[in-house]
């Protein structure tokens, strides 16, 4: 999945992180983000990844990675043991995203969560005009084979954090190569024009 993701996303995530910190990348894929963080920001990275092939890729690159399922195996990481925990475009694929998010906030002093935005205008118009579940670049699967069980919009996650008293430090909207900061007062418009939302919380 990771190779379909926008490179821009990784750059935004890297910019949100401070140098020389400890970062856990949950669902780290082939280790592209970990490599970037290590090289550019001298960050001590760790990965958690489900697929054997991706684990192998990370090991090949000399990146420490643990094979396991984030849904069931986050308990192994001690409280506040990382400066940041990154979860890139996977939150919507968990059975219990709320539980996972809670665990991430326990492990990391801060958490970065990115989500494909279901509120993006193209997604909305596809559903509105064609009456079909939207298939787009960021959401390439059809309804019956999508791993995304809990699709949400930037607004949804924003409201969720508010409801659960999770501190929102920064939200970045991404559309192709453009990025913009999202606040409560521009939420409606950004929710319509961002393909991706990147939240720094905790």
Partner 1 sequence: MPSLAGLFFWMNVKIENIKKLNVIKSLKLDCGKTISNFPLAYETYGTLNQNKDNAILVFHALTGDQFVTGTNPITKKEGWWITAVGPDKAIDTNKYFVICANVIGGCMGSLGPKNINPETKVPYGLDFPVITIKDMIRAQESLLEHLGIKKLLCATGGSMGGMQLLQFCTTFPDKTFSAVPIACSSSHSAQNIALNELARQAIMADPVWDNGKYVLKDAQPKNGLAVARMVGHISYLSEKGMQEKFGRKLQEKADYEFSFNADFQVESYLRHQGYAFTERFDANSILYITRAMDYFDLSKQFKGGLIEAFKNQKTKFLIISFSSDWLYTTKENKDIVIALNASGADVSYSEIITDKGHDSFLLNEPEFLKTLKSFIDSMYEKFKNEKRI
The residue ranges that bind partner 1 (CB under 8 A) are: 52, 55-56, 58-62, 64-68, 76-78, 81
Considering beta carbons, is residue 69 or 142 the nearer one to partner 1? 69
Classify 65 in phi/psi space as left (phi over 0), alpha (psi -120 to 50) or beta.
Answer: beta
State in angstroms the smallest separation of the CB of 58 from partner 1. 8
d(CA 24, CA 36): 13
Tokens, residue 50: 């489900």
Considering beta carbons, is residue 51 or 180 the nearer one to partner 1? 51
Handedness of CA 187, 161, 33, 60 (dihedral sign): negative
Alpha-carbon distances, residue 87 vs 47, 84, 129, 130, 198 (angstroms): 10, 10, 32, 32, 10
State in angstroms the smallest separation of the CB of 61 from partner 1. 7
Q: What is the CA radius of gyration of the chain?
A: 16
State in angstroms the smallest separation of the CB of 81 from partner 1. 7
Q: Where are the beta strands (DSSP E) in the chain?
A: 22-26, 44-49, 65-67, 82-88, 108-116, 168-175, 178-181, 196-201
State in angstroms the smallest separation of the CB of 46 from partner 1. 8
State in angstroms the smallest separation of the CB of 62 from partner 1. 4
Considering beta carbons, is residue 4 or 75 the nearer one to partner 1? 75
Considering beta carbons, is residue 59 or 166 the nearer one to partner 1? 59
Considering beta carbons, is residue 62 or 131 the nearer one to partner 1? 62
3-state DSSP assignment of residue 64:
coil
């Amino acid at each position: 999945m990771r190779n379909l993701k926008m490179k821009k996303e990784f750059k935004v995530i890297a910019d949100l992180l401070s140098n020389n910190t400890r970062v856990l990348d949950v669902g780290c894929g082939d280790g592209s983000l970990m490599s970037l963080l290590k090289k550019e920001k001298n960050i001590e990275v760790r990965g958690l990844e489900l697929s054997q092939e991706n684990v192998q890729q990370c090991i090949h690159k000399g990146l420490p990675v643990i094979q396991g399922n984030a849904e069931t195996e986050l308990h192994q990481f001690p409280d506040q043991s990382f400066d940041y925990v990154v979860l890139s475009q996977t939150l919507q694929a968990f059975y219990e995203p709320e539980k996972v998010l809670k665990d991430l906030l326990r492990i990391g002093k801060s958490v970065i969560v990115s989500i494909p935005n279901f509120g993006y205008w193209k997604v909305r118009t596809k559903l509105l005009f064609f009456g079909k579940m939207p298939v787009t670049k960021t959401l390439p699967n059809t309804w019956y084979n999508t791993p995304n069980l809990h699709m949400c919009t930037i607004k949804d996650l924003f409201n969720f954090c508010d409801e659960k008293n999770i501190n929102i430090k920064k939200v970045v909207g991404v559309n192709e190569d453009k990025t913009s900061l999202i606040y409560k007062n521009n939420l409606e418009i950004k929710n319509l024009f961002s393909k991706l939302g990147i939240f720094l919380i905790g």
